Amino acid sequence: MTDDPRSDIIEFDETLTLAFASLAAGAAPRPEVRQRLLASLAGPPVPAGFSFRFAADGDWLPHPVPGIRMKVLALNRAAGYAALLLDVAPGTRFPPHQHAGAEECYVLSGSLYTCGRRMTAGDFLHADANTDHGELRTDEGCRVLLVVPPEDDFPEPSL
């Protein structure tokens, strides 16, 4: 492998051409061609210390509050945080609660009502630890990035 990204494209094109040629001839690609093609589609190896979460990953989990599903983006118990993507259905209400630790909420899309204010895409809310949070609700639905302290029963992400 060279440092020239074009060489990866050329290698991928060659592998794809071999696979299509095999299919056009009515034969399944040879196992080594299939293996090269699948390896090319997987992308380069992930460097140590990095992890990716892609929008297409179908690893949403149910949230305890009906109408909310969540994706665990990162869980770092040592540093004391969990980064979550919440997808909240229209009409969902999140009951009043107290924050044991600080909470960071960034609205990515839709709108969310909290503390008597309507938050829309690009709005941010910080809540200190030991604060009482009234009900949250969304009429149209929303997607939010939430950073909270991890809880003992948090599901382990499949990173």
As a whole number of Å, the end-to-end CA separation of the chain is 26
Torsional sign, CA 104, 107, 112, 115: positive
Q: How many residues does the chain have?
A: 159
Domain that holds residue 33: 5-42
What tokens does 75 get? 């869980």
Q: Tell whether 21 and 90 lie within a shared domain.
A: no
Count of structural domains within the chain: 2
Q: Which of 32-41, 103-112, 125-134 has the highest mean pLDDT?
A: 103-112
Q: Tell whether 69 and 117 lie within a shared domain.
A: yes
The model's pLDDT over 61-81, given as tens digits with 9 standing for 90+, comes to 998 899 999 999 999 988 889
Q: Tell whether 144 and 69 lie within a shared domain.
A: yes
What confidence category does residue 1 fall into, taking pLDDT thresholds of 50, 70 and 90?
very low
Residue appearing with tokens 């990204």: 5
CA distance 36 to 19: 10
The mean pLDDT of 52-67, rounded to a whole number, is: 88
Q: H/E/C letters for each residue in 70-102?
A: EEEEEEECCCCEEEEEEEECCCCEECCEECCCC
Does any domain span residue 159? no
The mean pLDDT of 76-96, rounded to a whole number, is: 93
> Is 156 or 140 the better-scoring residue by pLDDT?
140
Does this model's pTM top 0.95? My answer is: no
- pLDDT, residue 153, reads 47
Distance of CA 21 to the CA centre of its chain: 37
* 148 membership: H or E segment, kind and range: strand 142-148
- pLDDT, residue 27, reads 62
